[in-house]
Structure 1
Amino acid sequence: MTFIDRHTSGVFIIAATPFTEAGAVDEASIDSLTDFYLGCGVTGMTILGIMGEANKLTAEEARGVASRILRRVDGRIPVVVGVSSPGLDNLKSLSQFAMDQGAAGVMVAPTPGPAVEDRVRGYFHQVCDALGPDVPICLQDFPQTTGVQISTATILTLTRDCPQIVMLKHEDCPGLAKVSAVRNGSATADTPRISILCGNGGLYLPQELARGADGAMTGFAYPEMLVEVVRTHQAGDADRAEDIFDAYLPILRYEQQPGYGLAVRKAVLKHRGAIACSRTRAPGPKLTATDEAELMRLIARTEANVKELSHGS
């Protein structure tokens, strides 16, 4: 069993949850989507996150999705399971289920409420106590969605105080200075190293890597770009990594539209044959005919840009 740890790096793709036109979980598309991600060369997967519409799944559905993906992956790459919940009992129950099914760790976001430092620290101490010492935790820092700001000082304090917290999913925005601060403040005499994987669609990935991030944890519908950018940057060719990134930038930016990007991502995944239906669960965004035409043009231009880049290499 491979667990996430303080040196985990690469690309952990955040998986969508496919639904049928009727709104049911599409198990066949779960299989094809998992195979698609594996074929793109991702280092790991993160499931039941915000992109996975976890808040729209029943407890039974969430367990079914996690179990099916973990069986399909079959240990080939580590899988992190999002378990955030308003109640610690529910969080603990899903965490235990996920780990028993073969998960590599769990992802936890702070509960909504006042962004008071001692409240945030107290919450994660309770989570660690509830889960025990053997469950690796990825701390999700996504204030745009949770409404909770977590300071660098609190992240570093939790890194020192809670051995289970081994990874930061960084999605604060603007957040480049925070990446630098966390990286420079960890792996010191008194603070252990923490793995940093960054989200926000990968919109700032080259700069995040330059500031010490270990990779990406996001759901961009062209995972092969994330994989190649991280691989090339880690190999020491930052300019080539940015050239690859730039070829995909228009469609990456288009995917990042607040409240709308999930529908775009699912439409791209359907276009690429990864899922059968692009439906999001209600309440959720839906593309218009104009949106679809606009997206198809962006896809065509992206494919042309990538082809030109490949020929020029």
Structure 2
Amino acid sequence: MTLNETTTGTIAIAPTPFDGDGRVDQRSIDSMCDFYGKIGCTGITVLGIMGEAPKLDAQEAIDVAKQVIRRAQGLDIIVGVSAPGFAAMRTLARHAMDAGAAGVMIAPLPSLRTDEQILTYFRQAVEAVGPDIPWVLQDYPLTLSVQMTASTIRAIVQEHASCVMLKHEDWPGLEKISALRRYQREGSLRPLSILTGNGALFLDFEMERGADGAMTGYAFPEMLIDVVNLSRAGRRDDAHDLFDAHLPLIRYEQQQGVGLAVRKYVMAKRGIIAFDAQRKPASSLSATGRAEVDYLLTRLSRHDRRAMALDGIAGAAS
């Protein structure tokens, strides 16, 4: 399966499961992939920013990518290959594509500041991985500190036919989506899939601005799927009602520093992964934090039955 500019739906950003000793938890990788497939995700992205990719060595990253590709048959698998150097990027990209990945995701280096630096970097990145590999342009200025305007994104997409998707997670970024879609209507930007991230904080309105779906992490990816589908069906109020019910937990999960701990805590409670462990260095969720998340889950269960019956974490390693 190969990514292209018509890709739509919900692609889950997957965490990397670890056991209590910090080893990659292969059994949880399988259970996580099975879960994403069962609920209707159209794909899975591994080794993204929330996937703790920098904490893996080169062979571990290749092994994780290959295991997800093997297990999640029928889903589009995108592999994050961002790295400080192009040699590592090329190696991981080639291994992933040879194993059957649908494409790769590339983020800009945090040191990039000018438009020319940004354009040059992606020119070199495409040269490194090869123009035959379809790739996702990740625009995440809040974390990466790289500001890409809509016109800069247009320039990248127009220069590289292999750039088929934008992972949009600027904040605020609704006007950027509108600008890109306007470029397309005017004929100055070729077709481009836009999936949104940012922990789904603005998914409800991003869909209305022209996004094709979601590519993000959240402990209840079923909600992302439902909001995307409801929005595409024109059921605006239903989409917003469901989104609003989850918004307090989405907001809590978006805290800098502990967001991944929150997400893994809930995923472990749900039995999607066996442990809520992160590989060090890592932040942990305090007892008070866990109690607050449990309270939010209780409140959410009044509106969404999928949050019911989350009693305890089997094998949690907090």
**If the length of structure 1 is used for normalisation, what is the TM-score?**
0.95
| 3-state SS, counterpart of residue 131 of structure 2 | coil
Residue 187 to residue 25, structure 1, CA distance change in 2 (3 Å): farther
Which of residues 286, 292, 296 is equivalent to 1:294? Answer: 292
Letter in structure 2 aligned against 1:110: P
Is the partner of 2:302 in helix, strand or coil?
helix
> How many Å apart are 1:187 and its aligned residue?
5.4
SS in 2 for 1:186: helix
List 4+ stretches of structure 1 deviating above 6 A: none
Tell me the alpha carbon deviations over residues 23-50 of structure 1, each in whole angstroms, 9 at most, x when there is no partner: 1000011111111111221111110001
Aligned positions of 1:151-300 closer than 5 A:
151-186=149-184, 188-300=186-298
Q: Where in structure 2 are there 5+ consecutive unaligned residues?
A: 307-318
Change (3 A) 1:200 1:124: same
Give, as a single letter, the amino acid of the residue that structure 1 aligns with 2:13.
I
- What's the secondary structure of 2:49's corresponding residue? coil
Q: Secondary structure at the match of 2:255?
A: coil
The alignment status of 1:9 with 2:15, answered yes or no, reads no
In the alignment, residue 66 of structure 1 is paired with which amino acid?
Answer: A
Matches of residues 110-121 of structure 1 in structure 2 within 5 Å? 110-121=108-119
* Separation (CA, whole Å) in 1 of partners of 2:194 and 2:213: 7
State the aligned residue count: 306
Q: Which residue of 2 aligns with 1:19?
A: 18
Distance in 2 between the 1:65 and 1:187 partners? 40
Measured against aligned partners, the alpha-carbon deviations of 1:157-176 in whole angstroms (never above 9, x if no partner) come to 11111101110001111111
**Are the aligned partners of 2:180 and 2:189 in contact in 1 as well (CA < 8 Å)?**
no
SS of aligned partner of 1:103: coil
Match of 2:85 among 84, 87, 90: 87
User: Which residue is 1:65 aligned to?
Assistant: 64
C-alpha distance in 1 between matches for 2:71 and 2:14: 13
Give the residue type in structure 2 aligned to 1:292.
R
Instruction: State the 1:184 CA deviation.
Output: 1.4
Could you tell me how far apart the structure 1 residues matched to 2:106 and 2:149 are?
Answer: 16
Deviation at 1:241, TM superposition (A): 0.8
SS state of the match for residue 121, structure 1? Answer: helix
What SS class does the counterpart of residue 17 from structure 2 fall into?
coil
265-274 or 275-284, larger mean C-alpha shift: 275-284
CA-CA distance at 1:252 after TM superposition:
1.1
Q: Give yes or no for contact 1:115–1:150 (8 Å, CA) kept in 2.
A: no
Quote the Cα distance in structure 2 between the aligned partners of 1:108 and 1:187: 26
Distance in 2, matches of 1:161 and 1:133, equals: 11
Q: Give % identity.
A: 48
3-state SS of paired residue (1:191): coil
* Change in 2 beyond 3 A, CA 1:252/1:95: same
Q: Give the TM-score taking structure 2 as reference length.
A: 0.94
Change (3 A) 1:190 1:28: same
1: CA distance, partners of 2:210 / 2:175: 11
1:71-150 paired onto structure 2 within 5 Å: 71-74=70-73, 76-150=74-148
Residues 222-252 of structure 1 show CA distances to partners (whole Å, capped at 9, x for unaligned) of: 0100001101110111111111111211111
